[in-house]
C-alpha cells in the first residue's frame, strides 16, 4: 500500500521540507505524506534510531528522506543541522516545526528546570529552527513554515508550561508572518486537539481512562487522526494556501469552541479520514 493523500501525487515534486519530531506521531505521518507527494524530506529528531527507522519506511515506500540528529534547543546544533540539510538536498522550501513535548503536572508541581525544559522544547526550539530555515534559505527563495502548537485557548490546566510555550509560538507565528512576508515566506500554525497518536502512550497509567474518554468531549464525538492533521499541514505548505499567512488552524473537531458548556448530542455522519497506510493505534486506545 501507499499513502492515500487527498492531494495530487506530484504536488511537492522537487521540493525539500524539514520535519522536526519526524520519528513518531504526527511528524512521522506528515513526513510520509510529504514524501508520497514527491518531496524530499529531512527528518530531524534527538534519537538516531527513531529518525533512521522512519527514513527506512519512506525509502521502502519509494520516497526520498534523510535522517538528522539534532537537539533543537541548542542553537549551534540547529545551525549546523539546517546547513547540512541544505547541502545534502540542494535547497530548502519549507519547515514543519513539529517537535515538542511536555509532562502532566499542576503549576505548583512544576519546578524551574521542568518549566524551562518544556519552554525550550516547545518555543525556543521552534524559533531556532524557523530562524535558521529563513536566514539560510527561505529568505532568498521564499517558502512556507508550519508550526505545530496545541489547544491552549482558555488555559491548559495540568500542562501550564506547555500552554504558555504554545501560546508564545502562536504569537511568534504572527510576528514572523509579518516580518518575513516580503521575502515570500508564509508562516502559519496548526493546533491539533485530541489526536489518536503515539504520544498518548507516554503519559502515566493513571491517565489512561481519561485519555480514552477524550473523544466524548468533542462535538463530533471522536478523536482526530494523524492524517487529518497532516492534510492540514500539507495544505498550508501548498500553493493553494499562497495568500494564507499568520494564521492558526485548529484541528480539534470544535472541541475548543464551547463544547465544554453546550450539551453534546449523540454523533452521526462522522467518518474519520485516515490515509496513512502505516498508522499505528496508540496502545492506550487498544488495551482492554
DSSP 2-53: ----SS-TTTTTT-EEEEETTTSHHHHHHHHHHHHTT-EEEEEES-HHHHHH
What pLDDT is attached to residue 48?
97
User: Which residues lie closer than 8 Å to 46 by C-beta, 6 or more apart?
Assistant: 69, 70, 71
pLDDT tens string 268-288 = 777 888 888 888 888 878 754
- Least confident range from 54-63, 88-97, 133-142, 207-216: namely 207-216
pLDDT tens string 141-196 = 999 999 999 988 888 888 899 999 999 999 999 999 999 999 999 999 999 998 98
What percent of the chain shows pLDDT beyond 90?
A: 72
Please give the CATH number for the structural domain made up of 16-254+278-286: 3.40.50.720
Which cell numbers in the block locate residue 169? 509560538
pLDDT tens string 111-127 = 999 999 999 999 999 99
Measured CA to CA, the distance from residue 161 to residue 174 in angstroms comes to: 21
Burial of 247: CB neighbours in 10 Å, binned 0-12, 13-18, 19+: middle
- pLDDT band with cut points at 50, 70 and 90 for residue 262: low
What pLDDT is attached to residue 104?
84
DSSP 96-144: EE-------B-GGG--HHHHHHHHIIIIIHHHHHHHHHIIIIIHHH-EE
State the DSSP code for 270. -
Q: Where are the domains of the chain?
A: 16-254+278-286
Position 259 pLDDT exceeds 70: no
Amino acid at each position: 500500500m501507499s499513502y492515500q493523500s487527498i492531494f495530487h501525487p506530484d504536488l511537492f515534486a522537487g521540493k525539500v521540507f524539514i520535519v522536526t519530531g519526524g520519528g513518531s506521531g504526527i511528524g512521522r505521518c506528515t513526513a510520509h505524506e510529504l514524501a508520497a507527494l514527491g518531496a524530499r524530506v529531512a527528518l530531524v529528531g534527538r534519537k538516531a534510531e527513531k529518525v533512521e527507522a522512519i527514513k527506512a519506511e519512506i525509502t521502502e515506500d519509494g520516497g526520498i528522506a534523510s535522517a538528522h540528529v539534532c537537539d533543537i534547543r541548542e542553537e549551534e546544533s540547529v545551525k549546523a543541522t539546517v546547513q547540512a540539510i541544505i547541502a545534502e538536498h540542494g535547497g530548502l522550501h519549507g519547515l514543519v516545526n513539529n517537535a515538542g513535548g511536555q509532562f502532566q503536572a499542576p503549576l505548583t508541581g512544576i519546578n524551574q528546570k521542568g518549566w524551562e525544559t518544556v519552554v525550550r522544547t516547545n518555543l525556543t526550539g521552534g524559533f531556532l529552527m524557523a530562524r535558521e530555515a529563513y536566514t539560510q534559505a527561505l529568505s532568498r527563495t521564499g517558502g512556507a513554515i508550519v508550526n505545530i502548537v496545541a489547544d491552549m485557548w482558555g488555559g491548559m490546566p495540568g500542562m501550564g508550561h506547555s500552554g504558555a510555550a504554545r501560546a508564545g509560538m502562536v504569537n511568534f507565528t504572527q510576528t514572523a508572518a509579518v516580518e518575513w512576508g516580503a521575502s515570500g515566506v508564509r508562516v502559519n500554525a496548526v493546533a491539533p486537539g485530541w489526536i489518536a497518536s503515539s504520544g498518548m502512550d507516554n503519559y502515566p497509567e493513571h491517565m489512561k481512562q481519561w485519555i480514552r474518554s477524550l473523544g466524548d468531549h468533542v462535538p463530533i464525538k471522536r478523536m482526530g487522526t494523524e492524517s487529518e492533521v497532516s492534510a492540514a499541514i500539507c495544505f498550508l505548505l501548498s500553493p493553494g494556501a499562497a495568500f494564507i499567512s499568520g494564521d492558526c488552524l485548529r484541528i480539534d473537531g470544535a472541541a475548543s469552541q464551547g463544547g465544554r458548556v453546550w450539551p453534546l448530542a449523540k454523533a452521526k455522519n462522522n467518518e474519520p479520514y485516515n490515509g496513512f497506510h502505516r498508522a499505528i493505534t496508540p496502545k492506550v486506545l487498544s488495551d482492554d
